[in-house]
Amino acid sequence: MAATLPQIQVSAQVRAVKFKINARLPLATNLNNNHNNGPILTLIMLSRSWKFGGLKCSYSPNGTNPEPKEKEKRLAELQTKNTGFWPRKIFKWLEGNVDDSPRIPEARGSIESFRNEAFFIPLYQLYLTFGGIFRLTFGPKSFLIVSDPTIAKHILKDNSKAYSKGILAEILDFVMGKGLIPADGELWRIRRRTIVPAVHLKYVVEMIGLFGRATDRLCKKLEAAAANGEDVEMESLFSRLTLDIIGKAVFNYEFDSLNIDTGIVKAVYIVLREAEDRSVAPIPVWEIPIWKDISPKLKKVNAALKLVNDTLDDLIAICKRMVDEEELQFHEEYINEQDPSILHFLLASGDDVSSKQLRDDLMTLLIAGHETSAAVLTWTFYLLAKEPSVMAKLQDEVDSVLGDRFPTMEDMKKLKYTTRVINESLRLYPQPPVLIRRSLEDDLLGKYPIKRDEDIFISVWNLHHCPSRWEDADKFNPERWPLDGPNPNETNQNFSYLPFGGGPRKCIGDQFATFENVVAVAMLVRRFNFQMALGAPSVEMTTGATIHTTEGLVMSVTCRTRPASNSINSDSEATPVSR
């Protein structure tokens, strides 16, 4: 199973751990500009200093290199003779350590090629050796890897002003510009204040109907596959489902990608794929001036980007006309029934239509809300196929709560086990698995002082798989979240669980996404049984913006005997599911 993590064995004498790290980093984790260290990293760490496989490496837990014996002896002599004339600083200087502050444990490595392993897996192995914060160094470049909940909270929440999105903003610039995810500082504050009100409760409730209609279209596709006995590749279907949903929810555009491959759908996928490719590219070729003009791939990307941008401009113009003509008064929970999209809300609120900023924000929402939800659904169905007892319990709940109709807001409160399944899926497969920050000033992380301009990866994967925090950490066990307990989040789990980040930059679509996933899972498991298809490629992880499978999630689908409507729970007002 892909989530089963290799454990490293650390012997007392020699700790020799050879890690091959695939530098297919999550979207936020590219090594570009001066961070460019090539595609693959191989770390070889030896406790203290030993020769191993012809390569000499060193590691010491306080970050200093072991000194030669003679020098140590001389220092010891000097120290024993110290009568107060030699200040302590001078001994430290002779040791090559000018200040008293503790040094962050350091893992040093060399770079080497190795494919087909998700980057965060070796980071997990290093975490088991080095602990909640360590420095990962290759040549002149280093990164801080944080897997400690208190330090994560400090960076994300308590001292969040001292951190920017760093390399994430650089990589995403071509597609998101200064959109809400990459933006920092005052611009981010202004945009966040403008956009968050658009995702109000009434809007989210309205979206539940949209989630149901879109999932119903997917059900029809699956019904056809089931009738023909065809296997289905669920990862790409989930990607299309969530694209259809987010297009309609953000700018009232019907991609209908589940049914047709129009030019715009293809263009969106070209742009999304490019964003992922850039996040894992060893060299930022797109920045080389001549290459930019002659590369057929980049030409294609630019053409696709132009089509997407032109379409967004058109949608903004159409929406602007609607807003000008309508007589609705703008208020806190403003919603236009014909077009409840976020774009409509923003324009009605007086947001500047001509600005590139609005387009950047729409593009950001499209990407943020599409890949993440698709990945959650993919891994949830993979986990469910592996745990039939969880699937059976889930189907029981859905049968009894939903009966034969589309889910409503009321059902969201009742589908408690379904929600726990999503909570647990997000623990095992956090999307994205790593959060990126850069320090804007000197700071203290735990007991360790750090300088400005440190690139930091907060490994949500490590936080969510920590063996001392979670019982049977690798087990898919929705029961770990009591049904009568609060919905787990970063606050009630003390930053050990960060499915939607935390602090001021927490996801603005958390409730939207949770309901979207609950509706999709509930409707799908009510209608179908899912199994891994016979002869399907084994499911392995790889990283782009989120965790993908390497070769898709190929499943066989069979129709369930439709459960009878449940008269107690069924809501006569709610729309029956179309047949």
39 touching ligand HEM, by CB under 6 A: no
Extract the tokens encoding 52: 């191993």
Of the candidate residues 15, 103, 157, 192, the single one contacting ligand HEM (CB under 6 A): 192
CB of 427 to ligand HEM, least distance (A): 11
Interface residue with ligand HEM, options 252, 373, 380, 423 (CB under 6 A):
373
Dihedral (CA of 158, 369, 488, 133) sign: negative
| CA 183 from centre of chain | 17
Nearer to ligand HEM among residue 271 and residue 367 (C-beta): 367
Q: How far is CA 433 from CA 1, 212, 374, 437, in A?
A: 18, 28, 14, 14
Q: Residue 108 or residue 505: which is nearer to ligand HEM going by CB?
A: 505
Choices 5-13, 85-93, 207-215, 505-513; region in contact with ligand HEM by CB under 6 A: 505-513
My answer on whether omega of the bond before 432 falls inside 30° of 0, hence cis, is yes
The reply on whether position 463 binds ligand HEM by CB under 6 A is no
From the list 46, 513, 518, 521, which residue makes contact with ligand HEM (rule: CB under 6 A)?
513
Q: Is 181 in the site for ligand HEM (CB under 6 A)?
A: yes
Of residues 108 and 191, the one with the C-beta less far from ligand HEM: 191
Interface mask (CB under 6 A) for ligand HEM, residues 473-502, using x and -? --------------------------xxx-
How far apart (Å, rounded) are the C-alpha atoms in residues 489 and 497? 6
Distance between CA atoms of 366 and 242, rounded to whole angstroms? 10
- Decide whether 129 or 341 has the Cβ nearer to ligand HEM: 341
> How far apart, in whole angstroms, are the C-alpha atoms of residue 530 and residue 146?
37
369 binds ligand HEM (CB under 6 A): yes
Helix axes 296-325, 263-280, angle to 10 degrees: 120
155 binds ligand HEM (CB under 6 A): no
Instruction: Report the residue number, 301 or 460, with the smaller CB distance to ligand HEM.
Output: 460
Could you give the CA distance from residue 214 to residue 221 in angstroms, rounded to a whole number? 11
Q: Which of 507, 511, 563, 575 binds ligand HEM (CB under 6 A)?
A: 507
Max CA distance (Å), the chain: 91
Question: What SS3 string covers 269-296?
Answer: HHHHHHHHHHHHCCCCHHHCHHHHHHCH
Name which position in 119, 286, 495, 512 contacts ligand HEM (CB under 6 A).
Answer: 512
**Token representation of residue 481:** 């979240």
Query: Does residue 544 touch ligand HEM according to CB under 6 A?
Result: no
Interface residue with ligand HEM, options 376, 385, 524, 533 (CB under 6 A): 376
Is residue 340 at the binding interface for ligand HEM, with CB under 6 A as the rule? no
Q: Which stretch binds ligand HEM (CB under 6 A): 37-45, 211-219, 367-375, 488-496?
A: 367-375
Choose among 178, 184, 194: nearest CA to 162.
184
For the bound state, the minimum distance from the C-beta of residue 505 to ligand HEM, rounded and expressed in Å, comes to 4
The site for ligand HEM, by CB under 6 A, has a size of: 21
d(CA 4, CA 379): 14
Question: With respect to ligand HEM, which residue has the nearer C-beta, 43 or 436?
Answer: 436
Residue 311: phi and psi, rounded to 5, are -65, -40
Q: How many angstroms separate the first and last alpha carbons of the chain?
A: 36
Q: How far is the CB of 356 from ligand HEM (least distance, A)?
A: 17
Q: Closest CB to ligand HEM among 230 and 333?
A: 333
Segment lying near ligand HEM (by CB under 6 A), choices 49-57, 128-136, 278-286, 366-374 = 366-374
Site for ligand HEM in 421-450 (CB under 6 A): 431, 435
> Rounded to the nearest whole angstrom, what is the least distance from the CB of residue 507 to ligand HEM in the complex?
3
Task: Give me 215's structure tokens.
Answer: 């999932």
Instruction: Determine the Cα–Cα distance for residues 348 and 130; give it in Å rounded to an integer.
Output: 52
20 vs 548, which CB is nearer to ligand HEM? 548
**Of 149 and 369, which CB lies nearer to ligand HEM in the complex structure?**
369
- Measured at CB, which residue is nearest to ligand HEM? 509
Percentages of the chain per state (helix, strand, coil), in multiples of 5: 50, 15, 35
Q: Whose Cβ is closer to ligand HEM: residue 504's or residue 576's? A: 504
CA 262 to chain centre: 28
Cβ atoms within 10 Å, residue 407: 29
The candidate with the shortest Cα–Cα distance to 106, out of 43, 55, 152, is: 43
Q: Do 165 and 440 touch, CB atoms closer than 8 A? A: no
Q: How far is the CB of 500 from ligand HEM (least distance, A)?
A: 5
271 binds ligand HEM (CB under 6 A): no
Q: What are phi and psi of 117, to 5 degrees?
A: -135, 135
Q: Which residues, in sequence order, are bridge partners of residue 57?
A: 50
559 is in an annotated binding site: no
Among 309, 372, 395, 493, interactor with ligand HEM by CB under 6 A: 372
Q: Which of 25, 152, 175, 180 binds ligand HEM (CB under 6 A)?
A: 180
CA 130-136-142 angle, to 5 degrees, is 150
Which residue's CB is nearer to ligand HEM, number 312 or number 368? Answer: 368
* CB atoms closer than 10 angstroms to residue 158: 11
Residue type, 320: K
Report the DSSP beta bridge partners of residue 543: 547
Residues with Cβ within 8 Å of residue 492, at least 6 apart in sequence: 486
Closest CB to ligand HEM among residues 30, 431: 431
* Least Cβ distance, residue 375 to ligand HEM (angstroms): 8
C-beta separation of 31 from 41 below 8 A:
no
- 424 touches 478 (CB < 8 A): yes
> Could you say whether residue 505 binds ligand HEM (CB under 6 A)?
yes
For the CB of residue 219, give the shortest distance to ligand HEM in the complex, in Å. Answer: 21
Annotated binding site for heme: 507
Binding site for ligand HEM (CB under 6 A): 180-181, 192, 364-365, 368-369, 372-373, 376, 431, 435, 499-501, 505, 507-509, 512-513
Annotated binding site: 507
